[in-house]
Amino acid sequence: MGSMNLKDADPAFKHELTGQFGGENLMKCFTCLSCVTCCPVTQVNPKFNPIRILRMALYGLKEEVLASDNLWLCSSCYTCQENCPMAVRITDILTILKNMAIKAGNAPTGIRAQMDIIKGNGRIYPLDDFDNKKRQKIDLPPLPTSCHVVKDLLPEE
């Protein structure tokens, strides 16, 4: 897993995670590495390693984890979580970390752009009349070009 500098570690960070819904079993991990061997992202990009991120979090490397670009390589496929023998909710913990990273102002540019699109349109892919014409050609009903139900869920900044 490589070396880690624990000089500035925050020992309370693991409790911050285990206190959140989905993070409860983090400390049950016994490093079997099943999550690593089954992760489809790790298979194509060995730089991404879910257990390294979890271990860094357990050791209290909060700032380093929340600033890591690797965090965002997880595709949230849930393969690791379904295979963990200790019921560690790995995907959910990675989601908690992503949410913390956003709150810390560390969202990558692409994620920020997606957030802005959702805030503006209520969907990740903005629909327009051109899309509805294509739908009409294959006998699909038109879709609303804005989805206020989702927009209304998002807090005003």
Task: Give the binding site for ligand SF4 (CB under 6 A).
Answer: 29-35, 39, 41, 50-51, 54, 74-80, 84-86, 88, 90-91, 94
**What CA–CA distance (Å, rounded) separates 65 from 148?**
34
Reported residue count of the chain is 157
Instruction: Transcribe 140-151 into DSSP letters.
Output: PPP--SS-HHHH
User: Cβ closer to ligand SF4: 76 or 136?
Assistant: 76
Both tokens assigned to 142: 């038109």
User: Cβ closer to ligand SF4: 81 or 121?
Assistant: 81
**Minimum Å distance from CB 43 to ligand SF4?**
9
User: Cβ closer to ligand SF4: 38 or 150?
Assistant: 38
Long-range pairs of 111-117 with CB within 8 A, sequence gap ≥ 24: 111/72
User: Cβ closer to ligand SF4: 39 or 56?
Assistant: 39
**Minimum Å distance from CB 94 to ligand SF4?**
6
**Minimum Å distance from CB 88 to ligand SF4?**
4
Distances (CA, A) of 122 to 18, 113, 116, 140: 32, 13, 9, 21
